[in-house]
A and B are shown apart, each in its own frame.
Chain A
Amino acid sequence: MRLLSSSVSITRYKVKGKIQGSLVQTIMDGLKKNSITEIDNQPVEKAAGWTSFDNPYLPDFQTSSCAIGAHFVFSLRIDKKNIPSKIIKKYYTIEMAKRLAESGREYFSRNEKSQIKEYVVNALSLSIPATPNIYDIIWNYDGSSLWFFSNQKAANEDLETLFSKSFGLTLIRLFPYTMADLASGITDKERDLLSTISPTKFMD
C-alpha cells in the first residue's frame, strides 16, 4: 500500500538495536544487497526485496538516497506468480497422461505425482509474469520506530524477516501487549502487574 494514497493502513514497529558505523551507508548497503530481483522468465513463484519508494519498478539505490527529512523512506516489493489452480490442474492432467503413455505404466506413486506437479508449476512459472505488490515503509531511526503501510500478515512477516537480514536489527510489532510493555512508560512494578492481569468482565 502506498503512503500517498487517499486511504492507508499502518502497522507500527519498534526497532530494537542500533547500527554500528555509518548510518546512511549501512542502510543503503542493506537495501542494495537485498533489493528485489526480477523473477519473470524464471522458475520461481515468489520474491521479496526492497525497492525505491519513488521508482518501485526500477529500483535504484546506487544514485538516489532514501532519506527524507529525519526519515528513511523505501518500499518492500513482493512479486508473486498467481497461477490459477484450474490451469495447474489442466497441465498436470495433460503431463500425467503423457508420461503414463510414455512409460506404459498404469499409475504413478504419490511421490512421482508430486514431482510431476512441481515440474508443471515450474514450467508455468516461466511463462507467467509475477504480480508486484508494493508496501511503503517509513523508518524513523532516531525514534526507533517504523511504520509499515500494510496490515497483511504475510507482508508483515516478509518485512520482519528481510529487515533483520538486511540491517541486523529486530522489528518488534506493536500490539496490545508490546505497546503496554515497551511504549507506555510503565514502571517495573506496573510491568509485573501487567503480566498477571486477566480479562475484565464488564457485566456480571
Chain B
Amino acid sequence: MLDVSIAYNRYKFLGHEFLTWLWFIMEVDPACILKAESDMVSLEVDNRIVLENSFDNRIENIRIKGDEAGFEEAKLSLQKGGVVTELNFSLKIGDHEWKFNIKGESLNISSLKSPETGKLQKKEDIEGAVLEKIYLYEKVVVLVENLYKQFIRIRVSGKWKNETIPLIKKWIKS
C-alpha cells in the first residue's frame, strides 16, 4: 500500500467525487440511496455545502449555509468545474433524525447529532448509555461506508465513464 500521507493527498479527489456523486444520486435517484439502510426514510443535503473550484492556479472555496439556503449557487459552481468538498446531511430512519457533516478529503464525520437519548441519572447507567450511542452512531458510520463502497465499485468500473459521468453532466447543466 502507498505511504499514508502520499495516498491521503493524491486520492483526496475521490472523496470530493464521492460527495458530488452522492448529491447527484440524492437528487436524481433517491430510491438508490434507500437501499443502503432498510428502515431509511430519507437522506438529504441539510443546510450546508462547501465547494472548491480551481482555475488559473487559484483555488476558490464557495460555502453555502443556512436553513433556507437554496443550492443554485452550488450548482453554478459545479457548472464552472467545481467539486463538492463538504456536505451536511439530514438522515431520517423511522421517526428519528440524525444530522452530520462529511469532509470529502478525509471522509471524517463531524458535527454528528444523533436522536435524543435519555438523560444519564446514575453512574450505573453509563454502560447502557454508551451502548445506545454506539448503536446510533453506527447507523451513520455504516451508511457512509456502504454508500462509499457503492461509489467505489462504480468508480473503478467502466460504468463510471460510460454511464455515470454523462448523467452527472446532464444533472449539473439542468
Contacts and interface: CB of A to CB of B under 8 A. Distances in A.
B137 A202 contact: no
Contacts, number: 134
Contacts of A202: 20, 78, 81, 83, 165, 168-169, 172
Contacts of A147: 137, 141
Given A185-B149, A202-B78, 7 more contacts: A4-B120, A12-B109, A68-B130, A69-B134, A138-B134, A175-B105, A176-B11
B117 to A, nearest CB: 8
B59 interface: no
A50 B106 CA distance: 25
The B interface, classified by DSSP as helix, strand, loop or mixed, is helix
Contact of B107 (A8, A9, A174, A200): A174
Interface in B1-45: 1-2, 4, 7-8, 10-15, 17-18, 20
A187 B112 CA distance: 32
B130 A4 contact: yes
B93 interface: no
B153 interface: yes
A73 B8 contact: no
B155 A197 contact: yes
Interface in B105-159: 105-113, 120, 123, 126-127, 129-131, 133-134, 137, 141, 145, 148-149, 152-153, 155-157
